[in-house]
């Protein structure tokens, strides 16, 4: 049983396979194209593989049983990530439009999907480029020896270390005070931080230079931004494996805790990670694939990029935990050394009698014979597993954990420069796709004058985004960034992805989609793809969406603050969001998704109103009243016909005469006018949206009309035969 929702006049909006072949030839010098397949693949890899692969995936592995997390991750990679990636590649390549044009072509009521994708891409671009600004700040400061975050600064009198730094650590102080200059509360904006403003402007300027002419410039940049991170990761892995404790970190990462598989949160986090790591539903991948040849093997592309993405996540986690293992070992050794010194002094033992090797044995003996004295020494609890399990997510992993580990390496400035160059490349290559998901829909919406060059459109967009993003470089900017990151794309992306899958399978039609793929790559998608697209993938996405919403609704709305005045300092203190922030959260999470039904309802009501007007005009024509419709055929009415105007040229009765119907046709669409003759000499014009309209008599009853040419042109010519 085949289920497909009604979709009238789809053929008039979608090019046939033959027309697609012709279009690819005629647009050779008009539409941008990739220089080669490598450039396209590197761009997609750079967009999909981003900062989340380096700092979110390792944290999730550590939080959900190490190697056990790989099981749901790989399962959902297959049933959720790869099918949707293949679908986006194929539909973009087939329809040859951006993230907005594809869905409006499938059905005008689906334009909201493209608008929602654009809004999410915009929201994420605003704060994502702020992270790149932070990376630039650290990169600039890495060209110093010693590194500025390796030691605490002195106070104003130069007599002691600054209290805030001495009570915490040098890396924490540099991040929260020297970089963010964070305020204690979200309500206190703290003003713009000029050094971050400079880095913020620099980040947007660099992005503009890379994308100013679309894929013509960004396609060149990806040769560096998409490959350099792998080189740096490999260098760090080689270096990490030479450090003490690195193997302990890797072992900890891959040691499975199978009990985690029974927890719903493990599967939910795995599904969300697969979704985000592929950058699905942003619209960027659809735009990228639309620049391909119509016969590009998009199925192969989806499989290759999926394999690269999954491998990168595991590879990056291995590198990260080799460094975390080294850091944990350093902290463990420091903890043990402090306890050894306390024991030597407390029991007045000779120096060297307690070492790291025999510490556990001697401590046990002393604790059995003189536990009272042991209690007075305030010894720290030293556990390597505890230090390894102190997972830090996101910015904390990059700007605190890694920077602390780097300070303990020889030639630390060199490693710092390499690390932040890698992060910069990962962030910038992801921004290429994010901003593409904004620019292409803006052009489809015709919000900029048509005469504006690509550079001007890109420049204005980047400038506006730069100004809007200044909220993230205030003293409270880190709190706003966490808010946008938590609610700005999560729910909306899941909604968009679900709508994309349903739209292609049940509105565009899975049979038509299969035929398109046969035309493009030469064979029909196998049974695996059919089951995934029709049932499994939409069901999994719907489940994750519902579970995600339930999880977000039930969690406490709190933010973590660096507050030197709090009792728990240097630990982060938790504060509740102010009540007005709920409106911001609802707007961030709900508005992009609401574009989907709202635009559909608006277009439906508008069409109902237009159809009512057309029916009234038809009745007026039948009653012999003044009729505006002859304008379509060159009459003198005052109103213009829908989608264009026409003119009629006639010769005297009985002679050969020619009638031209001129119709404005959207780019990529086929002519929607068909003409014929009814009894009594009335001409029947059939419009692709309005249906049949009876016009004024034109020709004798014995005359018939048919198209002269069926080519894809902005008008269709009819003549007497």
Residue positions forming the annotated binding site for Na(+): 46, 49, 53, 277, 309, 426, 430
Closest CA to 243 of 40, 97, 402, 6: 402
Closest CA to 507 of 10, 112, 1: 10
Q: Which residues line the annotated binding site?
A: 46, 49, 53, 277, 309, 426, 430
User: Buried b / exposed e across 421-449, counting CB within 10 Å, b at 16+?
Assistant: bbbbbbbbbbbbbbbbbbbbbbbbeeeee
Closest CA to 673 of 662, 686, 682: 686
Residues 544, 272 contacting (CB under 8 angstroms): yes
Residues 299, 521 contacting (CB under 8 angstroms): yes
- Segment (H or E) for 707: strand 705-707
Contacts of 575 (CB under 8 A, 6+ apart): 185, 186, 558, 559, 560, 561
Residue 541, CA distances (Å) to 53, 80, 309 in order: 21, 7, 20
Q: What is the DSSP letter of 679?
A: T
- 574: which strand partners? 560
Question: Cβ of 675: how many Cβ atoms within 10 Å?
Answer: 19
Residues 219, 429 contacting (CB under 8 angstroms): no
Q: In what side-by-side order are the strands of the sheet with 682-687? A: 673-677, 682-687, 691-697
Pairwise CA distance, residues 99 & 442, whole Å: 10
Q: What is the DSSP letter of 192?
A: B
Closest CA to 213 of 499, 395, 432, 475: 432
Q: What angle do CA 282, 232, 255 make, to 5 degrees?
A: 80
Q: What is the CA radius of gyration of the chain?
A: 32
Residues 110, 97 contacting (CB under 8 angstroms): no
Tokens 């605490």 sit on residue: 152
């Amino acid at each position: 049983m085949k289920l497909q929702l009604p979709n009238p006049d789809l053929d008039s909006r979608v090019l046939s396979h033959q027309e697609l072949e012709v279009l690819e030839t005629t647009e050779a010098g008009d539409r941008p194209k990739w220089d080669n397949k490598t450039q396209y693949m590197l761009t997609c890899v750079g967009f999909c593989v981003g900062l989340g692969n380096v700092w979110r995936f390792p944290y999730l592995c550590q939080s959900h049983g190490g190697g056990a997390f790989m099981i749901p991750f790989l399962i959902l990679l297959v049933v959720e990530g790869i099918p949707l990636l293949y679908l986006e590649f194929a539909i973009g390549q087939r329809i040859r439009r951006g993230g907005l044009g594809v869905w409006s072509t499938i059905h005008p009521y689906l334009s909201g999907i493209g608008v929602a994708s654009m809004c999410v891409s915009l929201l994420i671009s605003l704060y994502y480029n702020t992270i790149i600004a932070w990376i630039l700040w650290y990169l600039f400061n890495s060209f110093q020896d010693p590194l500025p975050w390796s030691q605490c600064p002195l106070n104003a009198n130069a007599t002691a270390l600054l209290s805030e730094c001495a009570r915490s650590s040098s890396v924490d102080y540099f991040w929260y005070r020297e970089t963010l200059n964070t305020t204690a509360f979200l309500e206190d904006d703290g003003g713009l931080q000029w050094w971050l403003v400079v880095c913020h402007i620099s980040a947007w300027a660099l992005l503009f230079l890379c994308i100013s002419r679309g894929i013509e410039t960004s396609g060149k940049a990806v040769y560096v931004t998409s490959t350099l991170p792998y080189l740096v990761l490999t260098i760090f892995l080689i270096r990490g494996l030479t450090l003490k404790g690195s193997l302990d970190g890797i072992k900890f990462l891959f040691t499975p805790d199978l009990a985690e598989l029974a927890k719903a949160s493990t599967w939910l986090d795995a599904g969300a990670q697969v979704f985000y790591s592929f950058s699905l539903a942003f619209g960027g991948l659809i735009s990228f694939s639309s620049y391909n040849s119509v016969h590009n093997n998009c199925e192969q592309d989806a499989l290759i990029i999926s394999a690269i993405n999954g491998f990168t996540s595991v590879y990056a986690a291995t590198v990260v935990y080799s460094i975390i293992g080294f850091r944990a070992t350093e902290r463990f050794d420091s903890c043990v050394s402090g306890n050894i010194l306390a024991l030597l002094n407390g029991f007045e033992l000779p120096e060297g009698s307690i070492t790291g090797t025999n510490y556990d044995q001697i401590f046990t003996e002393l604790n059995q014979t003189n536990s009272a004295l042991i209690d007075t020494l305030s010894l720290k609890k030293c556990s390597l597993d505890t230090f390894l399990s102190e997972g830090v997510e996101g910015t904390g992993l990059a700007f605190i954990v890694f920077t602390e580990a780097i300070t303990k390496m020889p030639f630390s400035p060199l490693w710092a420069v390499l690390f932040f160059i890698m992060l910069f490349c990962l962030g910038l290559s992801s921004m290429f796709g994010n901003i593409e998901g904004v620019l292409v829909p803006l052009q489809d919406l015709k919000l900029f004058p048509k005469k504006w060059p690509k550079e001007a459109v890109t420049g204005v967009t980047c400038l506006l985004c730069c100004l809007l993003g200044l909220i993230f470089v205030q003293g409270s900017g880190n709190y706003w960034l966490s808010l946008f990151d938590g609610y700005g794309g999560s729910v909306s992306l899941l909604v968009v992805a679900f709508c994309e899958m349903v739209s292609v399978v049940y509105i565009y039609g899975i049979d038509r989609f299969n035929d398109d793929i046969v035309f493009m790559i030469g064979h029909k998608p196998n049974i695996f793809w059919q089951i995934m697209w029709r049932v499994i993938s939409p069901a999994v996405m719907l489940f994750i969406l519902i579970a995600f919403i339930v999880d977000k609704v039930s969690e406490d709305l709190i933010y973590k603050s660096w507050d030197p005045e709090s009792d728990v300092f240097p630990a982060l203190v938790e504060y509740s969001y102010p009540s007005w922030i709920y409106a911001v959260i609802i707007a961030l999470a709900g508005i992009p998704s609401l574009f989907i039904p709202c635009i559909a309802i608006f277009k439906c009501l508008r069409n109902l109103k237009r159809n009512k007007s057309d029916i009234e005009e038809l009745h007026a024509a039948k009653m012999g009243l003044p009729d505006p419709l002859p304008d379509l055929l060159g009459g003198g009415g005052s109103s213009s016909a829908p989608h264009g105007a026409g003119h009629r040229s006639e010769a005297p009765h009985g002679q050969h005469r020619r009638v031209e119907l001129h119709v404005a046709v959207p780019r990529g669409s086929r002519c929607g006018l068909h003409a014929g003759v009814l009894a009594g000499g009335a001409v029947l014009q059939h419009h692709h949206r309005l249906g049949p309209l009876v016009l004024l008599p034109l020709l004798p009853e014995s005359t018939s009309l048919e198209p002269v040419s069926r080519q894809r042109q902005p008008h269709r010519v009819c003549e007497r035969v």
